[in-house]
Structure 1
Amino acid sequence: MIDIILFQPKCGVWDIMGARVPIGLLSIGAVPCNKGYKVVLIDQRIDFDWQSKIKKYINQGAKIVCLTTMVGEQILHMMEVSKFIKSIDSNILTILGGSWPQTQPEMCMQDKNIDVVCYGEGDYLLTELMAYCEGKKKISDVLGIIHRTKEGTIKRTAPRQPVQNLDELPKIPYRLVNLRDYTAVGFRQGKPSISVVTSRGCQFRCTFCSMVPLYGQSWRGYSVDRLMEDIAELESKYGIKDFFFNDDLITGDFKRFTEFLEALAKSGRDYNWGTPGMRGDAVLRLTKDEKAMDNLIKSGCKNLDIGVESGSPRILKLIKKDTTVDVIRRVNQKMSKYPVIMKYNFMGGFPTETEGEFFDTMRLRRILQEENEYAIAPIYFFTPVPETQIFTLAIENGFQPPTKLQEWADFNYDTWYKKYPSWLTKRMIHLIDNAVFLSYFSNKKMSYKYPNPLLNILFKLYYPLAKLRNDNDYYGFMFEKSLAEFIVKIDGKFNLFNRIQKKFFFKKSESLNTYS
């Protein structure tokens, strides 16, 4: 018998980067698994026969299907799956969670095949909804949801309070997936790696970030003891020693972070790790502590991401980044002494940003890479997200956002500016779009971000041309972008990249096949 189906829809262009373990779904599956419910997980990115699996599990008695989505193409895939589920059994309770429902829960109910939307943390949600399915609880008593009544009306229940002590949560049920099908980073090509979340939230106030309205500038983290226990288990059970600590802010408690570094360093386990959740001021603070820096290196740190966002002081103030260009340059100069890839993330296309201010960004990223051989500096196109402070500014400057769920499915980070009216001129779109594309491929150190074997090969083939263009600021006649768009379309139809990853990536590590 099956009780709950967790379903991970395809993401779209992000899938080409390599499928990471669906940690969000696995996290909300932890409590029901611990309570004895039979839970299964289907991942559309790698389960190419997902329809037959859904049919099989529904026939085996599944009462709930829980899906997830972020903004963009994943909404389209989610709606395809929810429609398919209801075509098999209209009585199945369909639940939707993820980053998009967190900010737009009512809009998500426009999908008539969704019964419940989770607008808070979902750790205890599925067990309560199973109690509802079993007639033991009223759905109106389940906190943090929007639900559709039998009469078709939409009701919102009272908010659910966030889990304050993350250590109280059961262990992630990795057994629900085959971890050999996933990867996270390419520190050691051909070796297994995994994304791990060590904390939730962020205390800062960046106006473009959806975490601010979601968590209200709050932060909570697992204890160091719990983290080390979980990491040791991933190594002993699954042979994994390379980790991507996928936090929004891993230094939310700086003391916890330094203690974590010390524990990793003292373990002597030859771990490798990176994280996107760093700030320049935190790294600067770290460099002033000789013991902490020694532990950073001994712990196996291979990469730190810092969100710089812009080289323009005015834009940094506009987005309330609470940092300066000087801080970032000092961080970079101090970290140049260490063999740690410093990934400085930038954005272009902010509301009111001028061409000159974007060139300030281009100059800063070039300086950082010249001053530190381990520095990389990709650029991303700014994307206006509902409920963020800057979203209002975007609308004031001419942005006309989608109004329906189906329209937001066509709102992708790499194409929205070509489809929706905004403040951006054609010249700015052309400039930023080409600079963004080249930034992904013009630094050889970026290769660790492409663990998918096919994408890694394509990166190595294109790198010389991308570097030549980048070094000479030549953005004209970029025929290769059309080729990349064609590859993305082909992958969208045939799931080529993840098929290759699943078939070939872990061949060398089959002797570690203790996955269960």
Structure 2
Amino acid sequence: MRIALINVQCLEGNNIVPPMGLLMVAAQLERDGHSIRAFDIDPDEEDIISSVTAFDPSIIGLGFLTNTYDKAKRLLAKLKRSLPRSKTVLGGAHSSSVPLETFKNLRPDYLIAGEGEITMSRLCKALERDITSDLSNLDGLYYWRNEAVSFTGPPVPIEHLDELPFPARRLLDFERYLTSPGIMRGYAMDKMTTIITSRGCPYPCSFCASNKVFGRKIRNRSVKNVIAEIRLLSAEYGIKGFYICDDLFTSNSKWVLSFCEALLKEPVKYRWACQSRVDTLSSGLARSMGESGCAQIDFGVESGSTSTLEKLNKKTLNDNVVSLFRMLREAGIRSCATFIIGNPDETEKDIEDTYGLAKSLKADFTVFYYSTPYPGTSLHTMALDKGWLDDKTPYSSGWNHRQACLPLMDAGIGRERLAALRRSMQNHFYFRNYFNIRNLIFLCSVFYSSLLHPSGTIKAVTTFFPVGRLDDLVEGLLINHRRHINIRAMSTLDHR
């Protein structure tokens, strides 16, 4: 069968993270013998209806986040009108977080909650053979039966990840994901991409819905399997580095040490980065990671207030966090610290404590996000119960904890005041975040793009002034730069 898979993205400054979930589903379907077309687009920036229609797929899969829900809704309606015979299947983070609500509101033919590779594979086989009368053996599937919603039961996480094929990256113009500044924040680097070595996270943080997709149990791929994928990426795309997208890469120190030992034996000396928690990294483990090429570790520190950490159900303390960041500097590993403000019952004193901690850590990159009650999280339930969030707030680009001008949730301090606090704190770290010797060449290229495309530069500046947050200016200039790269790439293709 012909199957079109679409990731609905939102054009952002450094939006070069490939849609790994979609590419892994695509690889599984290709293994099954299907013909696949993959799209990773912002439908408000690029019209793909004609391309999808020309492909004439039997099945259309659509994945999206909460902040692209409205884009996905409009795109799905257009696809249904243009291809009324094609079956539509929804998946991804938002669909998994609030599956029943999404299924009823968007009314696709099917919705898959949780990890999609196996269920999508089995669904496509059933559709190809026209045996859809009984789909009860497909985990996490919503579908219509006699105009009523049927659900096959909770999704079951895939236990043996090595059995899955590597992501089908070649289905996209993958070179555009490998351009500078790359994925490591504050560390400009080309030829860097993402890999996933494990799934699942056991921690119950109130603001996170990752478990709705990947479950609580951590499942690791084998070191051998991960190294094989890295070698393939090196051979096919000449990658110089990679970012490990696992929720908690350092959860299994024995596995990480084996991985570091394997990397040291590789002929290519990769630079890589990952995410960790402040309570799962020892000095010995950090030293081994640094020796194997780890350039940066990202931490969700979240708050400098113990009471706020308790409200977030973070299950961490900040007793040793300053010494942890000092240890990373001594090991030659960069650090990224992210914080959340506007949390439940948080006071300005709590935010001052967070700001003080952020300055004392001296991280190489520091970011402050708004506390955003994403659907499927306990924070979302709390926000609705306490009236911090209007239950009629539509899902749109406003559900973006990184770029939103004002927070969605007002837990007491006030939206305007919270925006002012965030602006002041974030601007303090502006030069430390972006301006270093390593980034000089990339910064010059952004400046060059700004001169070549003045309309985008003017838009970036006009977006910055009402808010006054310097990161907004950076985001706007990066969007302009990204468009310049895409235009140049299309020009190159036209001349081939």
* Aligned twin of 2:261: 262
- Confirm whether residue 389 of structure 1 aligns to residue 378 of structure 2: yes
- Once the two structures are TM-superposed, the CA of residue 499 in structure 1 deviates from its matched residue by 2.6
- Cα pair 1:380 1:436 within 8 Å, conserved: no
- Confirm whether residue 303 of structure 1 aligns to residue 296 of structure 2: yes
Counterpart-to-counterpart distance in 2, 1:449 and 1:199: 30
* Matching of residues 166-245 of structure 1 within 5 Å: 166-183=161-178, 184-185=182-183, 189=188, 191-245=190-244
User: Deviations along 1:224-243, whole A, 9 cap, x unmatched?
Assistant: 00000000010011111210
Name stretches of at least 5 consecutive residues in structure 1 with no aligned partner. Answer: 462-476
- Once the two structures are TM-superposed, the CA of residue 190 in structure 1 deviates from its matched residue by 6.2
Q: Provide the secondary structure at the position in 2 that maps to 1:281.
A: coil
Q: CA 1:185/1:111 → structure 2, altered by over 3 Å: closer, same or farther?
A: same
* Aligned twin of 1:44: 41
* Aligned twin of 1:54: 52
Q: CA 1:396/1:480 → structure 2, altered by over 3 Å: closer, same or farther?
A: closer
- State the TM-score, normalizing by the size of structure 2: 0.85
The number of residue pairs the alignment matches comes to: 473
Counterpart-to-counterpart distance in 2, 1:114 and 1:449: 47
- Cα pair 1:447 1:456 within 8 Å, conserved: no
* Aligned twin of 1:100: 94
* Aligned twin of 2:109: 115
Tell me whether 131-140 or 238-247 shows the greater mean CA deviation. 131-140
Q: Provide the secondary structure at the position in 2 that maps to 1:65.
A: strand
* Aligned twin of 1:466: none
User: Deviations along 1:392-430, whole A, 9 cap, x unmatched?
Assistant: 4333443134358x5456533344855666534245323
* Aligned twin of 1:468: none
* Aligned twin of 2:427: 438
Counterpart-to-counterpart distance in 2, 1:484 and 1:376: 12
- Once the two structures are TM-superposed, the CA of residue 311 in structure 1 deviates from its matched residue by 0.5
* Aligned twin of 2:399: 411
Q: CA 1:32/1:448 → structure 2, altered by over 3 Å: closer, same or farther?
A: farther
Counterpart-to-counterpart distance in 2, 1:339 and 1:504: 36
Counterpart-to-counterpart distance in 1, 2:161 and 2:440: 30
One-letter amino acid of the counterpart of residue 40, structure 1 = R
Name stretches of at least 5 consecutive residues in structure 2 with no aligned partner. Answer: 451-463
Counterpart-to-counterpart distance in 2, 1:302 and 1:69: 30
Q: CA RMSD in A?
A: 3.6
Q: Provide the secondary structure at the position in 2 that maps to 1:148.
A: strand
Counterpart-to-counterpart distance in 1, 2:86 and 2:310: 49
Q: Provide the secondary structure at the position in 2 that maps to 1:377.
A: strand
Counterpart-to-counterpart distance in 2, 1:48 and 1:455: 28
- Cα pair 1:102 1:120 within 8 Å, conserved: yes
Q: CA 1:42/1:331 → structure 2, altered by over 3 Å: closer, same or farther?
A: same
- Once the two structures are TM-superposed, the CA of residue 440 in structure 1 deviates from its matched residue by 6.7
- Cα pair 1:71 1:411 within 8 Å, conserved: yes
Counterpart-to-counterpart distance in 2, 1:436 and 1:339: 26
- Confirm whether residue 146 of structure 1 aligns to residue 133 of structure 2: no
* Aligned twin of 2:6: 7
Tell me whether 172-181 or 318-327 shows the greater mean CA deviation. 318-327
- Once the two structures are TM-superposed, the CA of residue 246 in structure 1 deviates from its matched residue by 0.9
- Cα pair 1:19 1:182 within 8 Å, conserved: yes
Q: CA 1:424/1:455 → structure 2, altered by over 3 Å: closer, same or farther?
A: farther
- Cα pair 1:27 1:172 within 8 Å, conserved: yes
* Aligned twin of 2:271: 272
Superposed structure 1 runs of 4+ greater than 4 Å apart: 186-190, 212-216, 406-410, 416-422, 445-456, 458-461, 477-480, 482-491, 503-508
- Once the two structures are TM-superposed, the CA of residue 375 in structure 1 deviates from its matched residue by 3.1
- Once the two structures are TM-superposed, the CA of residue 215 in structure 1 deviates from its matched residue by 4.4
Q: Provide the secondary structure at the position in 1 that maps to 2:335.
A: strand
Counterpart-to-counterpart distance in 2, 1:304 and 1:448: 20
* Aligned twin of 1:155: 150
Q: Provide the secondary structure at the position in 2 that maps to 1:158.
A: coil
Counterpart-to-counterpart distance in 1, 2:175 and 2:486: 8
- Once the two structures are TM-superposed, the CA of residue 69 in structure 1 deviates from its matched residue by 1.0
Q: CA 1:119/1:258 → structure 2, altered by over 3 Å: closer, same or farther?
A: same
- Once the two structures are TM-superposed, the CA of residue 301 in structure 1 deviates from its matched residue by 0.9
Higher relative contact order (CA 8 A, sep 6+): 1
* Aligned twin of 2:13: 16
- Cα pair 1:201 1:218 within 8 Å, conserved: yes
One-letter amino acid of the counterpart of residue 323, structure 2 = R
* Aligned twin of 1:481: 468
User: Deviations along 1:290-328, whole A, 9 cap, x unmatched?
Assistant: xx4443223211110011100011112222222222221
Q: Provide the secondary structure at the position in 2 that maps to 1:195.
A: strand
One-letter amino acid of the counterpart of residue 36, structure 1 = G
- Once the two structures are TM-superposed, the CA of residue 377 in structure 1 deviates from its matched residue by 1.9
Q: CA 1:302/1:428 → structure 2, altered by over 3 Å: closer, same or farther?
A: same
Q: CA 1:192/1:353 → structure 2, altered by over 3 Å: closer, same or farther?
A: same
Q: Which residue of 331, 341, 344 maps to 1:338?
A: 331
User: Deviations along 1:453-487, whole A, 9 cap, x unmatched?
Assistant: 689837999xxxxxxxxxxxxxxx96563898799
Counterpart-to-counterpart distance in 1, 2:232 and 2:27: 16
Q: Provide the secondary structure at the position in 2 that maps to 1:16.
A: coil
- Confirm whether residue 80 of structure 1 aligns to residue 74 of structure 2: yes
Q: Which residue of 30, 34, 53 maps to 2:31?
A: 34
User: Deviations along 1:244-296, whole A, 9 cap, x unmatched?
Assistant: 11110112322111111111122241201111x2011222x2x0x2xx44432
Counterpart-to-counterpart distance in 2, 1:337 and 1:460: 37
